[in-house]
Every structure is written in structure tokens, then in C-alpha cells.
Amino acid sequence: MSLSVLEIKARIIRKLVQWRKWGGSHTENILGGIPGHLRGAKITKQALKELVQDEWLLPAIKTGETHYSLNPKKTDEILQFYEQYCQRD
């Protein structure tokens, strides 16, 4: 199964929104919803990079690993994306 960058972004955003990881609340387990063969893949790294560049994700270096949270300043954009691409029927 091959996922697009958009589908990977949707999985990441879905997980963080559902877990309420906004601002100071962050998690290192951001790739848990991604299939194992894609966790270290170039496409997954590209999706994460784009989310950070768009300032939707805030990276924080904790315990030697990068943890991520959603940027509360981009709440409207993130929730609009979530409603369009992340809602399951």
C-alpha cells in the first residue's frame, strides 16, 4: 500500500487533533498511524517537513528525539484541513 504525501499528512494531523496535542502538549509517537514500511521513508519525511514549514507542527527536541505538537496559532487552518481530509465516515 502506497500513500500520498496528503494521506500521510492527514494521518498525522488526525492523530494529533484527536489526542489534543496543541502547543505545549507534544508527542514523539507521531508516526504510529503510518504503516511500518513508510515510517522512515522519504515521502513521510517530506510530509513532516512540509507540515513544519507550513508552521502547522511545532518541533521540540526532547530526550534526544524530536517531539511534535500542533501550532495553536494555525488552529483554523488545521481544523479546516482536518474536516476536509481526516473525518472518517
CA distance 57 to 16: 10
CATH architecture of 5-86: Orthogonal Bundle (1.10)
pLDDT score at 55: 95
Residue by residue, pLDDT tens for the chain (89 residues) are 578 899 999 989 998 998 898 988 888 778 777 888 888 889 989 999 999 999 999 998 877 788 899 999 999 999 999 999 887 64
* Cβ–Cβ under 8 Å, residues 78 and 87: no
Per the CB < 8 A criterion, the answer to whether 71 and 58 are in contact is: yes
Residues 38 and 30: their CA atoms lie apart, in Å, by 13
